[in-house]
Structure 1
Amino acid sequence: MGQSALLLIDLQEEMNNRIAAGRSVVYPDFATQVADLTAAFRAKSLPVLHVLHHEESAPDIPFRRDQPGGQPMACAEPHEGEAVFWKPGSSGFIGTGLEQHLRDHNITDLVVAGGVAAFCVASTVRQAANLGFRVTVAEDALIAFPLPDRDGTDIAPEVALKVTLATLAADFAKVATTSDVIAAL
């Protein structure tokens, strides 16, 4: 039988910078939910895995490990011994070794938190499901910003998150609250 792991995606300071600059977010207390999930997994000695964004070929973007915006948020600071994967694009599986790590450690179930829900979270969750992992998305531990529409307007973050979660729940993942995830550990 496999085990569960918490997979934290792109919980980097640039997300806090965007929120501080006025970007609206669906769950302003997402960091508290992330901290609660992380504490619960650690208390049960379950793996906490970190996927962080780093674009080697784009020196001007803030999601770089050598920039302040690329550093982990306080709520998701890796502890010694926790695996950290730096990804070059949207999915946490591309170019990172994440899949092999999960298989090597007999991890079959993932609880996912982080950002941005419609982008890197959705890409990673879909690929995880396609690779045969069981996935639960902690909806209130997600970062969801407005989604730029093709006509130049923004889709409200609540709508973007609702559509993202509906799509993921239809075929790729279970969606639950942080409190429900913790209760099921």
Structure 2
Amino acid sequence: MNFAQTVLLPVDMQQAFDGPSWPRRWNGAVDRNGQAILDAWRSRGLPVIHVKHDSIDPGSTLRLGQPGNAFRPGFEPRDGEPIVSKSVNSAFIGTDLDLRLKRLGVRKVVVFGITTDMCVSTTVRTGANLGYEMILVEDACDCFDLPDGQGGTIPARTSHQAHVATLRFEFARVLTTQEIVEALGNAAAAAA
């Protein structure tokens, strides 16, 4: 994989999602996998733009000033890594993300984060619609169990799998953490 004109976009890697007000998540490896990608990406000096959900809902655990609004440990931006603040599901809506990507000459966007079926999926779909080559890192994403509207629950993993399948079918290339990290290592070896 060629990483020229590519940016990494961690989406909503925030502490609120561990709180008791949120349903059960399924991917216990989301932090480990996301951190592995972020570390490998940074070691290559490639651009990272962090996406953060700053809710405007007064009761949200993702609202500015709430402890849950903070980045998860290990996902805090470093100097020179910008943050795109959003208040809706897509990182492209109501933000300057598209402009930032164009200024960087970006053609490809590698995405991971929380949650697959909401902010990650909406961002990937919007990015694809805007003409970017979107790459989803499926095992560095997570979902919640959700009510099915009929008294039952749709398991988080089932929701994740359905959304990954939809994104793969029309909106994104889907890779694993290992595939991304190995590709970054191979690219570094080739450049040496």
* One-letter amino acid matched to 1:4: T
Deviations 1:94-150 (A, max 9, x none): 111000000001111111110111000000000000001111111111011112212
TM-score by length of 1: 0.93
Residues 130 and 62 (structure 1 numbering): CA distance in 2 closer, same or farther, change over 3 Å? same
1:53–1:70 CA contact under 8 A, matched in 2: yes
Q: Which runs of 5+ in 2 are unaligned?
A: 185-192
Q: Larger Cα Rg: Structure 1 or Structure 2?
A: 2
Q: Which runs of 5+ in 1 are unaligned?
A: none
> Equivalent residue for 1:154?
153
Residue correspondence of structure 1 range 12-27 to structure 2 within 5 A: 12-18=14-20, 23-27=23-27
Cα distance in 2 between the residues matched to 1:77 and 1:163: 30
Instruction: Note the C-alpha offset of 1:22.
Output: 8.4
Instruction: Note the C-alpha offset of 1:25.
Output: 2.3
SS in 1 for 2:49: strand
Counterpart check, 1:68 vs 2:67: yes
Cα distance in 2 between the residues matched to 1:108 and 1:65: 31
Counterpart check, 1:115 vs 2:114: yes
TM-score by length of 2: 0.90
Instruction: Note the C-alpha offset of 1:23.
Output: 4.0
Identity of aligned residues (%): 34
Instruction: Note the C-alpha offset of 1:26.
Output: 2.5
Counterpart check, 1:46 vs 2:46: yes
The number of residue pairs the alignment matches comes to 182
Cα distance in 2 between the residues matched to 1:2 and 1:180: 17
Cα distance in 2 between the residues matched to 1:16 and 1:107: 32
Counterpart check, 1:138 vs 2:137: yes
